[in-house]
Chain A
């Protein structure tokens, strides 16, 4: 998901941040003394007085979590990093303006691998030195390293991540309907949703079709499972057309759920439900839905919106179901730290960012909902079991995951409300016309370049 999405999403984010702030004070004091001493700090070197600037998109509890990472680096090295959040949460535009204006920050956290590639291509980025590169490849699986690379050089350090293959469900409604184990494959997913419907749940699956990005995530999860990772990569780079039979298959599969009024209600209502609304529908008192698909940040939305459900107790998740025996796979998203300047302290910072210590400082701050794909981070570092499970799944798939496709496409196609892929999938949700959707997607993808 991109944070620059829309007004409503931004309001939701703000609300979320504010709400999360209140509960996170306990976690912060604990992270002040995160273990950074010993071997790691000595290898980090000393940069007394060296200052550098960092641009990111985090505010509220997320900013506090990041600040704790920065603080421990500053403490160990004597450097002073200045973090600022991009105005309006629109990091891509703010960063673009700064770079094009010749005034880039020393370090930026980018959520779009495509942007990383563009800046690297334009020669704006400084590649990681061997120590930092070493830190990245020893702590992250190859796929993450590749995502941060351009032309054989590593530029980006993976930092926070989200697990976008999680289906959240209301345990109370499941037990009302007599469903004891969550579905593992697509067929039983549909069957269980139908059972929910029979048990009187009006809209078993709440699809947040009001926000186009939730639909791209649905599609990407289905495509990843019906077409496989290789095709996924090709479609991401638009090396195959959207009119490809593999897309037909994925959309047809998706239609088994989206096209069934018993499962998702009427398309015109689904198209009005924003992401936060879909979470509310599923976890409010007198919930009207039992299932909502979205990423790990659904957990933060549940606590942030003060919904009555308890994450890990009455709000649980299961992995996005396998389709026709597909291998365990996962869709992920996340931020990468990149360097725009060649100050030595910047390389040291990036090296630190790649370390399990930094990941620990990041995730142990309660309320942020951050998880990390760092494979050397113990799941016990997470403040609650659900976050631990989310991260564990992310790490355990190794290289068999893929980064959010729409986050890798040009934003005019994959990242804009009422435009491109978002709008095309919305009209597909509305009318269920597979071939029309494919030709629209192909036309828009081609137009966005």
Chain B
């Protein structure tokens, strides 16, 4: 007793009372063994066995599960995506973080700016994913992304009056909405021309339409372009019936020898006339400007944009995190070195390149490696956004998502193999980080 008292509250010399240290370590140790070491070993073992469809161990298959990860196109896609992530995301975030850190040093209210940038870190990745699933929604009424894209686009180009209208079949017209519709026949003055189309929204017809009227006579080539369908159906095909509406505002072109010789516009009852064309016969054409599909914005979560779109969310979350760490590193750089350089006439760029950057390298590396580890395990953001991506969701698969899915399918062997693979991939980054910590301590 007296002995211990003499040594003071720090306890015995090194080597003494080890059991006491172990006592305090025990709870943590038990936890680590139970939820880290044991599962890791079990996963390695389990990854060597196949499964029955209900998830029981079937037979020893050696490395077959590992082979399956690379043999299957879809999990190979996940491996590739993990590679894209690791190549693109940590670098971009580190650069962005550095830029923000350098810039926030030179502005007023930098604390506010930093707080705002750091805020996404405080939101759970799940919530961020859901927020962005709204931003990326297709309908401009819901999705901010497309609201902006469509707003900008429509400012610079006109919309089309009848995007849904088209010929019923190819008896009268040939062509498509992109090229416009040209009549098969040629027409001359005297007999009124009937140009039937279908597809007008009958429950909410636009104000440019009214009851169609077939012209009976007129000078030159005359006719009617109308929607040959009335609410409730019925009526004769190819004839103007009560309840069918003229497509006012549609431009009509007269064609001779492949050239447009005259242009006119249909009135709201569908009638049009070329009073100057009294002789000769002409083909008629409805140009694409009347039919083109409206610009619907971008398919953010479609097959080509989904992975970059999800990466952007991740960027949004982690850029602030990188900035804060790098800013802290910058604060530790001795001011006098910077000032001395400036006094000596160095430009800001030179100061940054020759002094700030080299002194920051250790911090940048820590940020980069930490992000690399996180990115390798990326799951939540991808998983949440995949839920709203529909059929192209699979394009964005990453290993952690396929692991989760195979686990859900009770393919525990395969899921374990993916898990072990992820651990193996994380290990180099971990070693790098641990060595760095050790070096910093000594």
Contacts and interface: CB of A to CB of B under 8 A. Distances in A.
Given A176-B231, A195-B233, A202-B164, A115 B391 contact: no
B52 A114 contact: no
Interface string B383-422: 1101111111110010000000110111100000000000
A417 B54 CA distance: 18
B176 to A, nearest CB: 11
A237 B328 CA distance: 63
A286 interface: yes
A411 B53 contact: yes
15 contacts: A7-B383, A90-B408, A92-B410, A175-B233, A197-B199, A198-B199, A199-B198, A212-B391, A272-B138, A272-B301, A272-B389, A411-B53, A418-B386, A429-B391, A447-B72
A115 B393 contact: no
A198 B196 CA distance: 11
B302 interface: yes
Nearest to A8: B387
B387 A209 contact: no
A223 B72 CA distance: 27
A416 B386 CA distance: 13
Interface stretch (A23-31, A95-103, A252-260): A95-103
Interface residues of B, number: 45
A134 interface: no
A423 B74 contact: yes
Nearest to B394: A418
A274 interface: yes
Interface stretch (B34-42, B104-112, B200-208): B200-208
A412 B74 contact: no
B46 to A, nearest CB: 12
A7 B384 CA distance: 8
B391 A426 contact: yes
Contact of A210 (B203, B383, B390, B408): B390
Contacts of A430: 391
A93 B407 CA distance: 9
Interface string A270-285: 0111100000000000
B56 interface: yes
Contacts of A199: 198, 202, 229, 231, 233
Interface in B227-284: 227, 229, 231-234
B53 A273 contact: no
Contacts, number: 127
A179 interface: yes
A415 B55 contact: no
B299 interface: yes
A411 B387 contact: no
Interface in B157-175: 164, 168
A164 to B, nearest CB: 21
A96 B391 contact: no
Given A416-B405, A418-B394, A96 B55 contact: yes
B199 to A, nearest CB: 6
B397 A418 contact: yes
Contacts of A87: none
A419 B74 contact: yes
Q: Give 5 nearest A-B pairs by CB, closest first.
A: A178-B233, A210-B390, A271-B391, A418-B394, A198-B198
B382 to A, nearest CB: 11
B405 A419 contact: yes
Interface string B293-318: 00000010110000000000000000
B168 A93 contact: no
Nearest to A277: B390
Interface string A392-433: 000000000000000000111001111100010011011000
B408 A4 contact: yes
Most buried by B among A96, A177, A274, A410: A96
A417 B74 contact: no
A411 B409 contact: yes
A108 to B, nearest CB: 12
Interface string A112-132: 001100110010000000000
A268 B200 contact: no
Contacts of A417: 393, 405
A269 B389 CA distance: 11
Given A209-B390, A272-B138, A412-B411, A114 B203 contact: no
B379 to A, nearest CB: 13
B232 A178 contact: yes
Contact of A122 (B54, B164, B229): B54
A418 B231 contact: no
B207 to A, nearest CB: 16
B53 A114 contact: yes
Contacts of B387: 6-8
Contacts of B389: 272
Contacts of B233: 175-179, 195, 199
Nearest to B71: A447
Contacts of A119: 54
A200 B199 contact: yes
Interface in A199-219: 199-200, 202, 209-212
Contacts of B200: 200
A222 B54 CA distance: 29
